[in-house]
Structure 1
Amino acid sequence: MRLGLTVPAFRWPGGPARIGPILGRIARDADTHGLASLWLMDHYFQVTINGRAEDPMLDGYAALSFAAALTSDISLGTLCTGVTYRHPGLLGKLVTTLDVLSGGRAYLGIGAAWYREEHDGLGVTFPPMAERFERLEETLQITGRMFANDDSPYIGTHYRLARPLNSPPPLGRVDTARPHPPILVGGTGERKTLRLVAQYADACNLYDAPDLPHKLAVLREHCDRLGRPYEEIEKTVLSQFKLKDDPRTDPAASVAHLERLAALGIDHVIVSLPAVHNENAVISLGKVAAEVADLVPAGR
């Protein structure tokens, strides 16, 4: 089982001047202490579950590029880019750039977008939900083509690309034979989101919640209907651990929980640590990662 880290907030001691140094330390610690991935939110404003809209929020891809320059092994992605934030051709180019400069370590994490306040605040169009999902499907088609080095014209309902040229092409994630950055679709909607996962994505991102077995069953049903092997899809969940930042923390309870997730077939757990800015927090999570490194998820 793989363990990753998400950093969803930047309201840290020392104010804006300390964000760069602290984030840099977090990225380096995650890379050197055995974590598989580092994820940032891709929002304009902080979301209400994590604080106030006025709290610090970094551009996801600029911050990941910063992290890429400080690391060598860890995979990098957003949880998740809203489809409304960037034109799909530019998004494909952006993720490819991160992939090339990081040595093939990028994910494309994407979803249908939901946070209207940030759109209105910065003057970004926020279409109705049905249209956002239409745009998400077209974006998955376009970025999939770009990652596969297919520059033939794309004519959709919302997007038209005369030549989606993507040079240089992405390197692909270094620990697999996949020829492009894995495409991860975030969200738990049973009718649309999980169908898009089954049809287009390499990975899903679900919540570590009581209904997780049901969501996985729905995903399997979509795969069966579309003729897609369910086992091909990397199952990730977003979880919150309440580890203390003391490196002597006993990881037994966290390991037991991860064993239960592995029994459900979860491949990759992405953890949010409430005090991630504390110096030993990521080191403590690395201890847990070491404990579950040989844990094989059900179905693998």
Structure 2
Amino acid sequence: MVQETEGTFNIDGASLYTKTWLPDGPIKAKMIMFHGFSDHIGRYYGFFPYLAERGIAVYGVDQRGWGRSVKKDSDKGKSGPTARVLADMAAFIRTQLPSDVPVFVLGHSMGGGQVLTLASTPEYDDLIKQIRGWVLESPLVGISPEVQPSWLTVASGRLASHVMPHFRLYRPIPPEDVTRDPEVQASISADELMHNYGTLEGLAAMLDRTSGLSSGKFILSSHVKSLFMTHGTADKTTSFDETKKWFARNEAKIPDARFKAFEGFAHQLHADPGKEEFYEDVANWILERSGTKGPKVAVEAHL
């Protein structure tokens, strides 16, 4: 029986919602998870319970500006500049360090771009050294052509972010671009925690991180030991091609690197038809680097 626990993580004036999924038996590895834009940790369905049933403890946080960490309307999308985002992430990761079992970090979409930025920031080398492996699900390395903003929109937004950093923009992502599963599409439309707002400051920072990753400006730390990058070939939100290019540029620098393309999958590999393959791949990859494969577990329905 998986043990699910809710809590809070307090940092620099913010009280962030957390949730933990713990195995009923011994913990073989830990995975710390960072979600995507207008997302929250309650939307990963059977993925986290599945990992816990395989012996992997999962630690998730609704990041600043998102999900249940939003306490009032003005909090929506107020994630802050990149320095703030990375500081929050690093502090949350440190709650599980040092550890007597291997620690892994997973980022999805916007969270994947954040994770790669963190792993490319020398200021956090001491933390990076302690992470056994990094898992990226459809990371925001580049924006899909279907939703790519014009250069004028980007330039205007960046300029305005310095004048009105907390001005909010409504940036909904069509549910049908996120997953091919009609049931999940309906649940996205009905989810009041998915507010789809971003501040000019937060959106500009997200675009800057994306540009830094896709251009090669951000140099991955030499302390990254293992990396597993995954992406659906039919993703209409983040760019499969840019993710593949990033991996090709960095593969030789990483002692243990793997890229897997999920043919025909949409943006949320964890919520798309065929998700069982993604669940199992991530669990096996983590457990193989933790010295064990763990028991075989059936994947249950996601909703």
Q: TM range, normalised to the smaller chain? A: 0.3 to 0.5
Higher strand share: 2
Report 1 or 2 for greater relative contact order, CA contacts < 8 Å, sequence distance ≥ 6.
Answer: 2
Relative to the length of structure 1, the TM-score reads 0.40
TM-score where L is the length of structure 2: 0.40
